Amino acid sequence: MKDLIITEKTNINTINIDTSTSYEIAKMINDEDMKVANEVSKQLENIAKAIDIISNNFIKGGRLLYFGAGTSGRLGVLDASECPPTFNTPDEMVQGIIAGGDKALRFAIEGAEDSIELALVDFNNLNVSSSDTVVAISASGNANYVVEILKLAKEKQSKTIAVTCNKNAEIIKYSDISICLETGPEVITGSTRMKAGTAQKMVLNMLTTASMVKIGKVYKNFMIDVKPTNIKLKERAQRIVSQIADVSIDEAKNILEENSYNVKEAILQLKYSISFDEAVEILKNNNGILRKAFDYCNKN
């Protein structure tokens, strides 16, 4: 008999979950969840290598493309969809593709994870190039869909990253960097939306957040490229400008309303008494990195 993937094995700690009280069930789940962060910590070196690949490709104009099926695919779509409002990235810069298309975000699509044909269609629709980073997300790491995606990416000479919970995953063979999160048997046997999904979500958060930091989307720990699409985000932008430029909230609000809520430009305008156009030019000449823009202004 073929060896079971570890996420498909029975968890001896929850074998009596069906006869437990609600509190006991919650505690079992919580006890298992506590193991997740420790497993992620074991992969920090590989996560860091992946971050360097992604950020270097961003600088070259490349994209970050997540591919996955089921829970893993949904996590990729979620992480990608949060980049434009958080970091004001173009929609195409970080993309999440789920086997079976958008319908699969809400409904299980029979056979999607096993389909090489779907992988070919999804991959070819994106015109993947050598400057893109292709990330396959899969708890088992053996689904035909993600395996085929990485094979195709290799043919395009794209950098490839595998995020899996199985040390024997097939996708590892086709990855430049593999991030293997051995979260073990699930609370409910095979339910990888639980620990495996949590671990994958943590890693994807790291990949995008750290990559955005590396390309200048963050100053100190401020979200300086926030896209203020609602009242909460506009108020956040005002606080950021006020704190970094050392001005009142009213001054920050006024300049942001004048320049259509361009946060980095507003900071430079207030801090160095320059025009919006001058701020745009300075940022352009310093790759959009606020610290470098400060250095330039202080020297000139």
Give the active site residues: 82, 113
At 140 the pLDDT is 94
pTM here is 0.92
Tell me the two tokens of residue 131. 């400057």
**Rounded mean pLDDT of 129-157?**
97
Domain-terminating residue out of 214, 243, 259: 214
Residue 221 lies in a domain: no
Domain-terminating residue out of 214, 239, 265: 214
Residue with tokens 């779509």: 77
Based on the domain organization, do 70 and 209 belong to the same domain? yes
Strand-pair category, 177-180 with 159-164: parallel
Based on the domain organization, do 33 and 130 belong to the same domain? yes
Tell me the two tokens of residue 58. 């961003």
Based on the domain organization, do 28 and 175 belong to the same domain? yes
Based on the domain organization, do 209 and 269 belong to the same domain? no
Based on the domain organization, do 138 and 286 belong to the same domain? no
Cα separation, 86 vs 77, in Å, equals 15
* Inter-residue contact 55 to 216 (CB < 8 Å): no
* Terminal Cα distance for the chain, rounded: 72
Q: What residue numbers bound the domain in which 142 lies?
A: 6-214
How many domains, the chain?
2
Based on the domain organization, do 208 and 284 belong to the same domain? no
Based on the domain organization, do 293 and 148 belong to the same domain? no
Residue 226 lies in a domain: no
Q: What is the pLDDT of residues 44-85, one digit of tens each?
A: 999 999 999 999 999 999 999 999 999 999 999 999 999 999
Q: What is the pLDDT of residues 274-295, one digit of tens each?
A: 999 999 999 999 989 999 999 9
Cα separation, 144 vs 3, in Å, equals 18
Residue 55 lies in a domain: yes
Q: Which residues share a beta bridge with 177?
A: 161
Backbone phi and psi for residue 163, each to the nearest 5 degrees, phi listed first: -120, 110
Based on the domain organization, do 73 and 189 belong to the same domain? yes
User: CA-based diameter of the chain, in Å?
Assistant: 73
